Homo-oligomer: A and B are copies of this chain.
């Protein structure tokens, strides 16, 4: 069983606990969402979903994404000019590399942030819920294209 399949099962069971209904559209969306590390937008997810369910609406996609966000089963990232991006494979706070050229977002491994946020919390009295670290830049292929 792949990581994605494990993750898919995990989300499904979390939804069952909530007594949510498993419609074919929703299941298909979950399948797409948990099987990619591409950090897609709602529109991109909708587009993919349409290949299987041509009548699916964007509103439905948003409704499920918001549900998952509430359950902390998807990581939602908002940007200034662009639409939101979602990570359903790894919903926990983690750092990213964000290419401002092609808008590609890739994960960035490391434990430094966790240590730092803990320190910051201790100093400030904040109760840390999560964090976000984006490193903005140009990926190698966008640099080449310049």
List residues of chain A with CB under 8 Å of any chain B CB: 76-81, 84, 93, 95, 97, 99-100, 106, 108, 110, 112-113, 116-117, 120-121, 124-140, 143
Asked whether B135 lies within 8 Å of A128 as measured between CB atoms, the reply is: yes
Asked whether B77 lies within 8 Å of A80 as measured between CB atoms, the reply is: yes
- Chain B residues lying within 8 Å of A108, measured Cβ to Cβ, are 120, 124
Knowing A78-B78, A81-B78, the reply to whether A126 touches B131 (Cβ < 8 A) is: no
| Number of this chain's copies in the complex | 2
A-B contact pairs, 13 of them (CB 8 A): A77-B80, A78-B78, A95-B120, A100-B129, A110-B116, A112-B112, A112-B116, A120-B135, A126-B138, A127-B138, A130-B137, A131-B134, A132-B134
| Min CB–CB distance A65 → chain B (angstroms) | 11
Point out which of A77, A112, A127 has the most chain B C-beta atoms below 10 A from its C-beta. A127
| Min CB–CB distance A61 → chain B (angstroms) | 15
- Chain B residues lying within 8 Å of A79, measured Cβ to Cβ, are 78
A131 partner, pick from B80, B81, B133, B139, beta carbons under 8 A? B133
Asked whether B128 lies within 8 Å of A136 as measured between CB atoms, the reply is: yes
Point out which of A93, A100, A113, A136 has the most chain B C-beta atoms below 10 A from its C-beta. A136
| Min CB–CB distance A58 → chain B (angstroms) | 17
Asked whether B112 lies within 8 Å of A135 as measured between CB atoms, the reply is: no
Other than A97-B126, A117-B135, A125-B139, give 19 A-B pairs with Cβ distance below 8 A.
A77-B80, A93-B136, A99-B126, A108-B124, A110-B120, A121-B135, A121-B137, A124-B139, A126-B139, A127-B138, A129-B136, A129-B137, A129-B138, A130-B137, A132-B132, A132-B133, A132-B134, A132-B135, A132-B136
